[in-house]
Structure 1
Amino acid sequence: MAEPLKHLIGPQTARDTTHAVARAWRPFNRDRFLAEVLAEIEALELMQRGQCIADALSRHLPQDFTQATRILQDCLPKPEHPGLSGWALLSFNQYIAAHGRGHLEVSLNLLKSLTPHFTGEFGIRPFISDEQDKALAIISGWIDDPNHHVRRLASEGTRPRLPWAMRLPALVKDPALVLPILEALIDDAEDYVRRSVANSLNDIAKDHPNLVADFVERHRKGASKDRLWLLKHASRTLVKKGHTKALANFGYEPLKDITSRLDLKTTHLVFPGELLFDLHLANLGRADVTALVDYAIHHRKKDGSLSPKVFKGTSLIVRAGETVCIARRHSFRPITTRVYHTGQHRIEIMVNGIAVASAAFDLQLPSTANH
């Protein structure tokens, strides 16, 4: 069984931080610092553990922020000593975010130095929120940095909806200032950077679907294999939702000459179980067509309403005059992210983003199950 995420930071992290700071700054009260952190850290979750160490740093580092940043800088890995790296630097992100307001350049420079050893994506967001134009002007200068971690920080740290981090409402509302950064990094040599660009575009697509579909259309022409993968990954939410232009960007046009038939093997399931179904597609036209087939399960909620979740199906070419049968099975089993309820559910088939067939089925949960 995997270790809980919170164990990425723990008592040893506190000891490592104590050692690094004491080496960088002799007046540091290492015994008191460590005692304060160890008294709290075991009872906390991951992000709280980082914050616990950051709060202790706030109490024990110099109140002068510029002096404190020089100490933190000396804690980073150097040729003469290993320094701190990995999750031990989450607390540095949190400390800088809390105390660096009003010290934009100093703070961003330290986060830039930190990011090759962990990431600075959590720490830079308050500065973007406070001084968006100035912060983005500095961050935009990182797109040509020789270190790929720094280039990734330019795209990852500016994601409007970065998971685990504060949201950037102004960029959610208007991501125009982020697009030049993403365009500059779209053909980056590192997959690590390109994946970040794709994720940022996917974030933006949740609020501005047409903007991202247009972006993909502009950059798809003559795209390399790597860029094409990036654009597809950036479009994943739009494709899943059946956005017409996003689908058309990858050759999935609305189909006029396709007929469909959905056959359920059973209309009554007992949980846990599998829904088996066949989809028959007939191409009545004179030209071959490319079909992207997805399906949605409309799960029954506690109040009796239905909530759809789309699942990826398959992509295929249906030849002129041909009928194909696609056989699939969908598993209903205990998962931590969903609570199932007894009653009628529905399956819906989408071809190139258009619903073409649907059918109802009943799901019965054992009376002894705790749902």
Structure 2
Amino acid sequence: MSVVLESTHDKNFNVSDGQSLQLEQLQEVITLINTVSIAKSQRFQYMVWLREISIILDCKKVGTPLYSKIIHSMLTIAKLLCDWPLIIFIQKNLIKTHQKKSLLEKFFDALLLGEAYFQLGLFNLSMQVLESQLLYDPKNTKLYHCRHAVMEKLQKPRISEQGRGGNNEIYLTPLQAYHLESFSWQYSQSVMELCNLCDFRCDDEWLGWFDDMQQEMSRTLFAVVHREWGIIGCVSLQVFDGIGFFYYWLGEDFQACGFGPKAVNLLLDYGYCTMEMNCCYAKVYQHNIPSHKAIKKLGFEMLPFSALPPYENEVFYYLGNKRTNSVLFMELRRLLRYMDSALDILPNQCFNKNKPA
């Protein structure tokens, strides 16, 4: 993918480093960051460090040209990293709150702030920013074009940001082609191997896959959004005649944090309320122990069926009303055929052998 870059420097920045740095030193460090490539494995480290710098700048409450240069450099890095929550913080807090009017006019970017909200699926907030800016700049055609794009999104049904238990930390927004860069930062070889997903060798392959997914009327595809860290993964749900099948994945930096079950609960709520889903199935690789634990916490039960070779390492789960194994077997088999899956299953009375922990 286009944002997969190899780092060309060896310095590791600790979060605590920022506390003792003066503005001049901050500018030197951030300028250095802007001259190097950032690898996927380093992204989260940079995101944490930039947030620490943001807190320092927020406390200083300065409005000098050097401060503005640092802000500009931070925005450049944040956009490269698809760190949309940080862009929102900088635009709303560090610029609008602390800058002199002349500097505010120079560095406040309504288009960038509108894009950040748009990328995160916060279309109402994006619209507010753009319409407010149009009052001051009514002849700006870019603002009008962006406003039109946001309006199209607002006219479509949206998934609720509330999940079971009133959780607000995680929400879902429909995955779109413009999420390519955010998707790419999270997607990795380990994710592909654990979840048996596609290997995208270039942007065009991803866009082709996305177009194919959009053609499947039974499928709903969402980006998983964390309010502080932005897009952290993806969830998918297919429903045939009330029978659902889902999968999800999260970026390596956000695994084993409890975000997966929260995202899946939101997805299941959407399936029950919007897609008339009555029950749901899922499959997990036998060696993917974290996913087995997560799916059991969601209330799914392991099924006594196994996949025929070469897919015998797949384990199947079910969530729904209690029914006999024979009924579940026939229903799952029918579902796999609906999905045009290469998998076929058979009952396995000795399934407890090699049962995951």
TM band (smaller chain): 0.3 to 0.5
TM-score (norm 2): 0.33
From the two aligned structures, give the one with the greater helix fraction. 2
TM-score (norm 1): 0.32
From the two aligned structures, give the one with the greater strand fraction. 1
